Structure 1
Amino acid sequence: MTLPTDENRDLLTVVATMRAKPGKEQELQDVLEALIAPTRAEADNVTYALHRGAQDPAVFIFVEHWTNQAALDAHLGTPHLQAALPKIPELLDGDLVITPLHRVA
């Protein structure tokens, strides 16, 4: 298996983790899936992959790779993300946790 960071260790990896409120799983998934195509079209996005918990289907995780912090900052200001952000908190059980990472090994 290869990862984008195998080729470029300078990429910024971001893991965004969230849990849907009971009964809101599909609604949250729909909102998140709508972000995928426009985000993947962003020039400095390398990976934007949505995952759902295999044992806990209320858990959703984005695994993202960006060319740098400026690319992520630009993404955070895009119209498609700004349109989705107000919808997300009402669907979550707890907080959205965003973890930026740098590849070590």
Structure 2
Amino acid sequence: MIAIEAKLEVQPAKREEFLAATKTLVAGSRAEAGNISYDLFQSTEDENVFMMIEKWEDQAAIEAHNTSAHFGQFVAFAQTALAKPLDVQSFQA
């Protein structure tokens, strides 16, 4: 299993649009083959900071996810909505 943590800091003016976009991303990602879980968490200290925690069966599932339409649409949107560069880390279980 591979776990991915992605920290996203959103521009305050884009927060509501970001939340709507993540609903589509999460729903589509959870339906993918090889997905174990895909969840968005909001910081308890800053309402504009989020952590996406994903768990995948293997690297092939991640690669398929990274080429999916819903992921590509979210990445394009995120480039306009994030206040800081995306911080992503992967972990092998």
TM-score (norm 2): 0.93
Residue 49 (structure 1) aligned to one of 39, 48, 71: 39
CA shift at 1:16, angstroms? Answer: 0.9
More moved, 45-54 vs 78-87:
78-87
**Percent identity (aligned):** 28
Tell me the equivalent position of 1:34: 24
1:70, distance to aligned residue in structure 2 (A): 1.3
Unaligned ranges ≥5, structure 2: none
CA deviation string 1:27-83 (max 9, x = no partner): 111111211111111010001011111111101111110001111111000011112
In the alignment, the residues of structure 2 paired with residue 22 and residue 40 of structure 1 have an alpha-carbon distance, to the nearest angstrom, of 27
Structure 1 gap ranges (5+): 1-10
Residue in 2 that maps onto 1:60: 50
Q: Does 1:74 align with 2:61?
A: no
Task: Determine helix, strand or coil for the equivalent of 2:13.
Answer: coil
Two-structure CA RMSD over aligned residues (Å) = 1.0
Q: Which has the larger radius of gyration?
A: 1
Contact kept in structure 2, 1:33 and 1:50, CA below 8 Å: no
Q: Which amino acid aligns with 2:71?
A: L
Question: Paired residues, what number?
Answer: 93
4+ residue segments displaced more than 6 Å: none
